[in-house]
Amino acid sequence: MMNNGTFSHLLNNRKRGYKLGEQHIIDLINITKSFGEGDVLHDFSLYVRENEFLTLLGPSGCGKTTTLRIIGGFETPDKGQVLYRNRDIADVPPNKRNFNTVFQKYSLFPHMNIFENIAFGLRIKKMSEDKIRDKVTWALKLVNLSGYEKRKPDSLSGGQQQRVAIARAIVCEPEMLLFDEPLGALDLKLRQEMQRELKNLQQSLGISFVYVTHDQEEALTMSDTVVVMSDGIIQQVGTPVDIYNEPKNRFVAKFIGESNIVDGVMKDDFKAYFAGMDFVCVDSGFGRNEEVDVVIRPEDIKIVPENEGMLRGVVKSVFFKGVHYEMTIESAGISWLVQSTLSENVGDRVGINIYPNDIHIMKKSDSQAEREEEEEAES
């Protein structure tokens, strides 16, 4: 799992000023899909806008790949509608949809050079050689592989092969690209480079991307919209900033980054009770004395001298994480996870301060089953 300091850096460095279209290119309406016993998706609805980079994010088995395959035409829903610009395409085969899919396995033809791999779909469409050459040259330039036309796939690195697969997908100029965990086989550094390249590519092409991943970093780095899923149900839809800063439930708060989630009581608007004392917060609209979940991100807890703290505690553990130290501080019967660029020593007595803007109040989780599901996904 990524550290939260890195999450903040990613959110602050996402490109701004890129306008999404308001028109929906895809609408999934009340989709149900099952394989054997139980529904993978149940009464599932979602839309994708023009020019949108939308990421389906969740743990294994949550239904994200099934959703992608239904959009691509590789699966047919048991119930519901798949609308493409308001036309139902649920029974339209993949080759009749103007979408292309990029998978984790590159599926390049080993006996063909890079030019021929990319040109394959164009030749099926019986385009002229001049047009094929122009389109392949354009696609290679977009993925920074100009000059690689005569190379064979086995002479390229994993990242370069993935770029070839992407070039092959875009050369036919689809209206939407679908990605099923395409970077999963790459090492960390290469994966991070490809994340930036994919976002730049999407903005250059001006088309919609639908991207499946269980990697929170990928979702936050690239997406305009993140759809957090669990057990075939959408837990939350929003921008990366909204998903991270305003999680709607325990599952989202725990799955996206790291969180301290403690029991609390909303005594009144803008006043919450937890950890044995009252805190001022910025939340309202809850019932008076309603039991709630209180979320505080580890990087938002401030360590101060013991006599200056709202709470007082003892440092129980310290780990160096590269960009910060991660500490556990026992206070008021709670083990607080704290991240700071400054380290304390195990056994030190310290104060901790939690300010109003750093407190997020959520409705109490509905059931113990939900908590168990969240803990299973976290592990």
> Would you say residue 175 has pLDDT above 90?
yes
> Would you say residue 259 has pLDDT above 50?
yes
Q: Give the mean pLDDT of 94-100.
A: 91
Q: Which residue has the higher pLDDT, 204 or 316?
A: 316
> CB of 75 within 8 A of CB of 67?
no
pLDDT for 125 equals: 86
Q: Which residue has the higher pLDDT, 13 or 245?
A: 245
pLDDT for 12 equals: 44
Q: Of 48-57, 148-157, 188-197, 265-274, where does mean pLDDT reach its minimum?
A: 188-197
d(CA 350, CA 336): 12
> Would you say residue 347 has pLDDT above 80?
yes
> CB of 76 within 8 A of CB of 32?
no
> Would you say residue 72 has pLDDT above 90?
yes
Q: Which of 8-12, 182-186, 311-315 reaches the highest mean pLDDT?
A: 311-315
Select from 328, 354, 326 the least CA-distant residue to 341. Answer: 326
> Would you say residue 366 has pLDDT above 80?
no
Question: In the chain, pLDDT over 90 holds for what percent of residues?
Answer: 70
pLDDT for 189 equals: 83
Q: Give the mean pLDDT of 77-95.
A: 93
Q: Which residue has the higher pLDDT, 13 or 216?
A: 216
Q: Give the mean pLDDT of 71-87.
A: 94
The string of pLDDT tens digits covering residues 9-25 is: 444 444 334 456 679 99
pLDDT for 6 equals: 44
> Would you say residue 58 has pLDDT above 50?
yes
> CB of 252 within 8 A of CB of 242?
no
pLDDT for 105 equals: 80
Mean pLDDT over each residue of the chain, to the nearest integer: 88
- 1, 330, 359, 284 alpha-carbon torsion, rounded to 10°: 130
> CB of 184 within 8 A of CB of 65?
no
> Would you say residue 255 has pLDDT above 90?
yes
pLDDT for 31 equals: 95
Question: In the chain, pLDDT over 70 holds for what percent of residues?
Answer: 91
Q: Which residue has the higher pLDDT, 22 or 287?
A: 287
Q: Give the mean pLDDT of 287-313.
A: 96
pLDDT for 10 equals: 43
Taking the alpha carbons of 223, 226, 228, 233 in that order, is the dihedral positive or negative?
negative
Domains along the chain with CATH numbers: 4-245 (3.40.50.300), 258-378 (2.40.50.140)
Q: Of 57-71, 134-148, 360-374, where does mean pLDDT reach its minimum?
A: 360-374
pLDDT for 17 equals: 41
> Would you say residue 185 has pLDDT above 90?
no
pLDDT for 14 equals: 41
pLDDT for 192 equals: 85
Select from 352, 362, 348 the least CA-distant residue to 277. Answer: 352
